[in-house]
């Protein structure tokens, strides 16, 4: 196998009219170790982007769940609800919360895989992340309850078993107002004999009256994932920073061949016949997306005791 740099350049004639785009390839071969190092650096940069995208997916699904609750409360304010309406509203909440639980699990599994693939299994980094997760499980009911609720949804039933419509008088600066709410609940009354809820979690639910307002543990769980995401960022910080610097230097180096500045530079692995077996596109736009997501996701803090409202 041989390794080379290539790309496209556009020649301009004396009248500054573009001539056809032509491809140019370096005459100096690239060492395999260099090629593999560039590939690894780019992969790690993409991994960092993937972590932020998965976390955004978690946040987006959580937002849709909370927005559905808000929307249903507004509908109740306007039209109240028939039995059929209530059933449809519960199913809508089931769909939203199932999406939340699914993306939570996806985030946990794929971040474990990312740590394992990057640092090895076993590795100190993987053990540290697992220990951090165990601490979240031990210290936060919302974390361990939603873990068990996800298993329930996967094997036995839906997460929202009943909803309650609420109205109460709320004192406001602009005068007393009626506040309308929708409370999604999980209750032991609806569990069947085949449900495999962990005994310790069942006992905790019983100690809370056998019914759980799903809003609080979900917010607590998302706040736990905010903490976990911060820990993952610390774990990957050094290797991502080093890989990014190395990758940028490689892009800069291979974007110029024979004095020509290239469009779409890339590295190629070719066999003895000249057939391309593998290619590394030396793109950088995805890192701008990463920077934007990293900054945006950094704004999310502990939201355990927070909620959105239209109250005056």
pLDDT digits (tens, 9 = 90+) for 153-202: 998 899 999 999 999 999 888 889 999 999 999 999 888 665 778 999 99
Alpha carbons 43 and 158: distance in angstroms, whole number? 38
Which whole-number Å values give the CA distances from 261 to 28, 34, 288, in the listed order? 16, 21, 21
Alpha carbons 180 and 160: distance in angstroms, whole number? 19
- pLDDT band at residue 20 under the 50/70/90 scheme: low
Q: What is the pLDDT of residues 254-270, one digit of tens each?
A: 999 888 888 899 999 99
Q: What is the pLDDT of residues 89-144, one digit of tens each?
A: 999 999 999 999 999 999 999 999 999 999 999 999 999 999 999 999 999 999 99
Query: What's residue 12's pLDDT?
Result: 52
Q: Tell me the angle at which helices 141-155 and 215-254 cross, rounded to the nearest 10 degrees.
A: 90
Domain residue ranges of the chain, discontinuous segments joined by +: 2-298
Q: What is the pLDDT of residues 41-70, one digit of tens each?
A: 999 999 999 999 999 999 999 999 999 999
- pLDDT band at residue 17 under the 50/70/90 scheme: very low
Residues whose CB is less than 8 angstroms from the CB of residue 288 and which lie 6 or more positions away in sequence, other chains included: none
pTM: 0.92
Alpha carbons 39 and 29: distance in angstroms, whole number? 16
Rounded mean pLDDT of the chain? 93
The mean per-residue pLDDT over the stretch 10-22 comes to 57
């Amino acid at each position: 196998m041989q390794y080379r740099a290539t790309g496209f350049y556009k020649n301009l004639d004396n009248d500054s009219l573009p001539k056809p785009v032509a491809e140019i390839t370096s005459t100096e071969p690239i060492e395999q170790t260099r090629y593999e190092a560039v590939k690894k650096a780019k992969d790690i940069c993409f991994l960092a982007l993937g972590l932020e995208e998965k976390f955004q997916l978690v946040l987006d699904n959580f937002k849709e769940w909370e927005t559905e609750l808000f929307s249903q409360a507004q509908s109740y304010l306007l039209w109240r609800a028939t039995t059929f309406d209530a059933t449809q509203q519960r199913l809508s909440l089931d769909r939203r919360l199932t999406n939340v639980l699914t993306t939570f699990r996806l985030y946990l599994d794929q971040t474990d895989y990312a740590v394992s693939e990057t640092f090895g299994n076993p590795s100190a980094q993987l053990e540290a992340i697992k220990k951090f997760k165990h601490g979240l499980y031990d210290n936060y009911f919302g974390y361990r309850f939603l873990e068990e609720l996800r298993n329930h949804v996967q094997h036995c039933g839906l997460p929202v078993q009943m909803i309650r419509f609420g109205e109460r008088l709320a004192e406001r600066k602009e005068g007393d107002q009626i506040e309308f709410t929708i409370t999604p609940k999980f209750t032991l009354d609806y569990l069947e004999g085949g449900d495999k809820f962990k005994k310790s979690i069942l006992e905790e639910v019983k100690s809370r009256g056998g019914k759980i307002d799903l809003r609080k543990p979900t917010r607590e769980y998302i706040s736990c994932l905010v903490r976990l995401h911060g820990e993952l960022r610390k774990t990957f910080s050094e290797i991502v920073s080093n890989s990014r610097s190395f990758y940028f230097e490689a892009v800069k180096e291979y974007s110029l061949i024979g004095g020509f500045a290239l469009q779409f530079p890339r590295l190629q692995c070719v066999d003895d016949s000249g057939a391309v077996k593998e290619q590394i596109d030396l793109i950088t736009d995805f890192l701008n997306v990463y920077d934007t997501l990293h900054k945006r996701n950094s704004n999310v803090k502990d939201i355990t005791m927070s909620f959105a409202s239209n109250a005056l």
